[in-house]
Amino acid sequence: MSTDLTLTTKDFKSDQEVRWCPGCGDYAILATVQGFMPHLGIARENIVFVSGIGRSSRFPYDMNTYGMHSFHGRAPAIATGLACARPDLSVWVVTGDGDALSIRGNHLIHALRRNINLKILLFNNQIYGLTKGQYSPTSEQGKVTKSTPMGALDEPFRPLSLAIGAEASFVARTLDSDRRHLTDVLRQAVAHPTPALPWSRSTRTATSSTTAPSTPSRTPPPPTTPCCAWNTASPTGSPRTPTRSSTTPRTRTPPPPSLSPGSAAPPRSASCATCSALRTTG
Amino acid sequence: MNPAALRANLADLPRGAEIIVNTDEFTRRALAKAGWATSPLQDGTPVAYRVHPVALTTLTVEALKDSGLTHKDAERAKNMFALGLLSWMYHRPTEGTEKFLRTKFARKPELAEANVTAFRAGWNYGETTESFAVSYEVAPAQRAFTPGRHRNISGNLALALGLVTAADRAQLPLFLGSYPITPASDILHELSRHKNFGVRTFQAEDEIAGIGAALGAAFSGSPAVTTTSGPGVALKSETIGVAVSLELPLLVVDIQRGGPSTGLPTKTEPADLLQAMYGRNGEAPVPVLAPHIPADCFDAALEAARIALTYRTPVFLLSDGYLANGSEPWRIPDVAELPDLRVEFATTPNRPDGSFWPYLRDPRTLAPPWAIPGTPGLEHRLGGIEKQDGTGNISYDPANHDVMVRTRQAKIDGIDVPDLSVWVVTGDGDARLLVLGWGSTYGPITAAVREVRAAGGRVATAHLHHLNPFPANLGTLLRRYGRVLVPEMNLGQLALLLRARFLVDVCSHTQVSGIPFKAAQLAAVIKENAEDTQDEEGTEATGVH
């Protein structure tokens, strides 16, 4: 009755047309996650992807699993109910910097502190893509966008600091374009015996190039235990159980380009039609 | 017990009522606090009442002088002295009270004995003093209750047990996602004690997460519930709209309180009817039910679950503070007599080509299949973006959207709802006035109508439990009467719906004070309307001849 567990990447591709803008980093994340899923060893029908609203949130439509494209900012709450009612399922939340850190901040931190069996993937593109280019909670100070023509005034959130502050037990950052590292983060998140929050964050390291960033995601826990990790577009440090000391100190300046395994994100030639025009340097 | 209490409650008493006054508390200072320069006991303010001055505090302290308690502690037992006095007045058995006190203070036997002593002293005071000429005996109720085993139950407890029972009848584990709010929290408290019945409760970080988690649980195959009050409904509105769009079963329990905003959290006010009906963006129809008495909260929970599970829709259950905290005897039902709420999850593809369409509907109920995660071969995605009829794929097609909006509406309009029955008594068959209510106004309306009938007035009454969709016979029924009077504890929300739906010019009588209608006041309004309609009848008759 249950699905054959010798699954391939193809098995996780839905019949839906993927509709991100050309050059968007979300394509790379989708491909990586689809490629990673067969390694989970979990039948397709026991996997659920839940998303909110935003660039990142069409993700469940493209996964041939159970899924819900819910509403703005509430995916962690919905996924919490799912995971509580059905501990047998592998529950993943796909979200973005606007969805997770702005409209849903409360649900995110409480999902993290509860240590529920969830994986959260946060695609951090540091911009509101779906609504066509307003600044987001992770946009750097001074960023010029449609809604901040004189530059953004606000201090940005550091997703990693936020997650650790909320007592997430697994937090990692990776890069959409670094498939090997992203896959490794997913693997570690799934192996983590508590909820994990992998963030896939595309910190706009370089300059105007930029693609739609991938936001961090919480990887759902293995069937019995949850974990969270962030994937971000630029990987920094070890994704494994970060400690407070591993966080970068908060400064008034935009975060430095990512350090760590590997080099900074390569500049992308393709650009997101929606976002890139607005992504002038901070 | 003190002047302030006398002042606050005097208006609630009918003329001729008996008032027992603790004279020890009627000091000059306490009188001044209550706004009296001199004691009303002396100047005759409560002259229309039969006042029994009793030095409750002094007598209690005197009764306990050998107990070893301090004067202050002894004073605290005066409520038991009063209870003893009332037990004597109403011929109530005393064993239960004494047993309760000994159990409650089992760890402090000296306090238990002091309370029992005060209680007995009060009882003895009633029996030996000659100031009470009258005592009362209330015979056990016989006719009012159907035979069977009864227990006392509050509306919130009945509702909680109804939810547990509904899940049991569906043979599925109940899930509650909730955030504490007055006066709904007791349901969360009660359900959190019933893990033994497979109940899972989740106290969320906020109202939105509470219903969000419930929605997730509904997707996963649980009968899911969220409980709240009016302000919480406002926060949950978006999610209710999502549940309408996804077409998942979800119970939204609204224990209504005074509004708007924080309003009157501890006061009752069934004024969320229009919020339940229309408080969402877009065309988002939701069935609405309202219990009428505390015990009915049990049945209403089962009925709401039936509709949610059968039609895959969120359902509003509108209780209120009056029902929630009110209690009454309730006959414990035989589980076998309760409806079977089992549902069939989709387990196989529903298309000839072996594919699965999540919005291929049951032609009778228009409900889509409920295919839960873990079911191989039926992997699918639900979403709040408009979806193509049948396949559920995202669709911005104009014609498709029109179809989907009308289909979702038709599903709710087509819900099987029992006909409304009218309550008449002998001689009222030709009544020209129908008094139509909903929710907790049932008690006051019934009492008021009884009063009007006793005085010779002719009145028919009916009470709506289903507010969306309305019973199919409602329009016909409304048109049968010369006048329809709709008493409501809001500014006429049901009246508005009835006028809009049936073009019947109902008379709206409203009170929005945070307290229930008083039967006597309502009786005056009903009597006036009954006389008017009988006069109209006379005029019409004259005109015909």
Is the ipTM higher than 0.90? The answer is no
Q: What is the pLDDT of residue B131?
A: 78
**Res. A199: pLDDT tops 60:** no
Residue pLDDT, tens place only, B188-213: 999 999 999 999 999 999 999 999 99
**Which of A65-74, A156-165, A234-243, B358-367 shows the lowest per-residue confidence on average (mean pLDDT)?**
A234-243
Query: Cβ of B376 under 8 Å from any chain A Cβ?
Result: yes
The distance of B297 to chain A (nearest Cα, Å) reads 25
DSSP class of B23: G
Nearest to B213 among A61, A63, A84 (CB): A84
CB atoms near residue B376 (< 10 Å): 15
More confident residue, A6 or B3: B3
| Structural domain spans, chain B | 3-128, 151-337, 344-415, 433-544
Q: What is the pLDDT of residue B294?
A: 97
Query: Cβ of B347 under 8 Å from any chain A Cβ?
Result: no
**Res. A132: pLDDT tops 90:** no
Contacts of B218 in chain A (CB under 8 A): 81
- List all residues of chain A from 66 to 95 with a beta carbon under 8 Å from chain B: 66-71, 74, 76-86, 88-89
Residue A181: partners with Cβ closer than 8 Å, 6 or more residues away: A174, A175, A235, A261, A262
Q: What is the mean pLDDT of chain A?
A: 72
Q: What is the pLDDT of residue A259?
A: 33
Nearest to A82 among B204, B206, B220 (CB): B220
The fraction of chain B above a pLDDT of 90, given in percent, is 83
Residue B123: partners with Cβ closer than 8 Å, 6 or more residues away: B84, B85, B87, B88, B94
CB burial class (10 A; 0-12, 13-18, 19+) of residue B215?
buried
**Which of A39-48, A271-280, B99-108 shows the lowest per-residue confidence on average (mean pLDDT)?**
A271-280
Contact A268, A23 (CB under 8 A): yes
Q: What is the pLDDT of residue A196?
A: 52
**Res. A156: pLDDT tops 60:** yes
Residues B239, A74: C-beta atoms closer than 8 Å: yes
Contact A274, A132 (CB under 8 A): yes
Relative to beta strand A118-124, strand A90-96 is parallel
- Here the tokens at position B120 are 């007995």
Alpha carbons A243 and A164: distance in angstroms, whole number? 7
Residue pLDDT, tens place only, B145-185: 788 899 999 999 999 999 999 999 999 999 999 999 999 99
**Res. B129: pLDDT tops 90:** no
Confidence of residue A229 (pLDDT cuts 50, 70, 90): very low
**Res. B267: pLDDT tops 80:** yes
Residues B221, A86: C-beta atoms closer than 8 Å: yes
Query: Cβ of B487 under 8 Å from any chain A Cβ?
Result: no
Residue A277: partners with Cβ closer than 8 Å, 6 or more residues away: A133
Q: What is the pLDDT of residue B298?
A: 98
Residue A134: partners with Cβ closer than 8 Å, 6 or more residues away: A127, A128, A145, A146, A147, A148
Query: Cβ of A48 under 8 Å from any chain B Cβ?
Result: yes
Q: Give the number of C-alpha atoms closer than 13 A to the C-alpha of residue B53, restricted to the C-beta side.
A: 10
Can the peptide bond before residue B14 be classed as cis, meaning omega within 30 degrees of 0? no
- CATH class of the domain comprising A9-247+258-278: alpha beta
Contacts of A67 in chain B (CB under 8 A): 379-382
pLDDT average, residue stretch B308-312: 98
**Res. B441: pLDDT tops 90:** yes
Residues A85, B216: C-beta atoms closer than 8 Å: yes
Residue B473: partners with Cβ closer than 8 Å, 6 or more residues away: B419, B420
Contacts of A48 in chain B (CB under 8 A): 219-220, 373
Q: What is the pLDDT of residue A23?
A: 77
On the question of a common fold for B151-337 and B433-544, the answer reads yes
Candidates 3.40.50.920, 1.20.210.10, 1.10.3720.10, 3.20.20.140; CATH matching B433-544:
3.40.50.920
Residue pLDDT, tens place only, B443-495: 999 999 999 999 989 999 999 999 999 999 999 999 999 999 999 999 999 99
Alpha carbons B237 and B349: distance in angstroms, whole number? 33
**Helices B207-219 & A105-114, crossing angle to 10 degrees?**
70
**Res. A257: pLDDT tops 80:** no
CB burial class (10 A; 0-12, 13-18, 19+) of residue A1?
exposed
Q: CA–CA distance from B50 to each of A42, A105, B46, B483 (Å)?
A: 78, 62, 8, 41
Q: What is the pLDDT of residue B236?
A: 98
Q: What is the mean pLDDT of chain B?
A: 93
Q: Give the number of C-alpha atoms closer than 13 A to the C-alpha of residue B38, restricted to the C-beta side.
A: 6
CB atoms near residue A48 (< 10 Å): 30
Residues B215, A78: C-beta atoms closer than 8 Å: yes
- Superfamily (CATH H level) for B151-337: Thiamin diphosphate (ThDP)-binding fold, Pyr/PP domains (3.40.50.970)
Query: Cβ of B36 under 8 Å from any chain A Cβ?
Result: no
Alpha carbons A108 and A218: distance in angstroms, whole number? 10
Residue pLDDT, tens place only, B19-45: 999 999 999 999 999 988 888 887 765
Confidence of residue B313 (pLDDT cuts 50, 70, 90): very high
More confident residue, B276 or A271: B276
CB atoms near residue A148 (< 10 Å): 17
Confidence of residue B438 (pLDDT cuts 50, 70, 90): very high
Query: Cβ of B159 under 8 Å from any chain A Cβ?
Result: no
